[in-house]
Amino acid sequence: MSEMHSKSAFLYGQVRRALQSGHYLPGQRIDPAALAAEFNTSPTPVRFALYRLVGEGLLSDHARSGLYVPLLTEVALRDLYDWMERLLLIACEVGPAPIASARIGAPDSGAVEEDVVKATWKLFDAIARSTGHRYLHDAVKRTNDRLAPVRRAKRHLLDDLAAELGVLTRLWDEGDIDGLRAALQRYYARRKRLVPCIVATMNEGRERLH
């Protein structure tokens, strides 16, 4: 692996984690020069990393004005929720591949209590990965990444998140696919009702940028 590729991969991981954690706010401009200075590197590997994130939909390229964290609108968030729900229901319909374990990658109860956001990402990734369909798994991973900051921002808007995720995890562990499918539909119906509140919460931070 070349030094340039190694630096770019490292920077990609750092910025991706920062986006998932909500470190960057919707509408915030990402300055490649500032990142290069922060990580003591040249602008080239930074730009390679950032444009990889553009390709994954985690950043938006506004041409002359630069790269930005995508703005979150009610329409966009409903589309993301609907897309993730459809992907997971397809994964349920396909079911685990014969070589996959029903518990592949599923979070344990301790992980759920410690960080619901990370545990949610891990469970949904496990459901998709177990099918053995690479393109389905890739689609879930990308949507998971885009929803991670949303999950952090809306934690105070929903009660019993750990218990809710615990039910999904138990159904997955037990191989109750019909029960899991119904629980996922309830999970997303609950969030779609809160879309205006979630978007307003996330955009509060954006207003402080101006």
DSSP 39-66: TT--HHHHHHHHHHHHHTTSSEE-GGG-
User: In this structure, which amino acid lies at residue 168?
Assistant: L
For residue 30, what are the β-bridge partners?
67
How far is 155 from 136, CA to CA, in rounded Å? Answer: 27
Contact assessment for residue 84 and residue 124, using Cβ atoms and an 8 Å cutoff: yes
| pLDDT at res. 196 | 94
* C-alpha–C-alpha distance, residues 196 and 191, integer Å: 10
Q: What is the DSSP letter of 134?
A: H
Rg of the chain taking only CA atoms, in angstroms = 18
pLDDT tens, N- to C-terminus, the chain (210 residues): 577 778 899 999 999 989 888 788 888 899 999 999 999 999 999 999 999 999 988 899 988 889 998 888 999 999 999 999 999 999 999 988 775 444 455 556 555 545 898 999 999 999 999 999 999 999 999 999 989 888 888 878 888 899 999 999 999 999 999 999 999 999 999 999 999 999 988 877 555 544
How many CA atoms within 13 Å lie on the side-chain side of 8? Answer: 15
What's the pLDDT score for residue 209? Answer: 47
CA 169 from chain centre, in angstroms, equals: 18
User: Do residues 127 and 87 lie in contact, with contact meaning Cβ atoms separated by under 8 Å?
Assistant: no
| Beta carbons within 10 angstroms of residue 93's beta carbon | 10
Residue 123 to residue 110: CA distance in whole angstroms: 13
pLDDT at 119: 93
Cβ burial of 49 (10 Å; 0-12, 13-18, 19+) is buried
Distance CA 3, CA 208 (A): 38
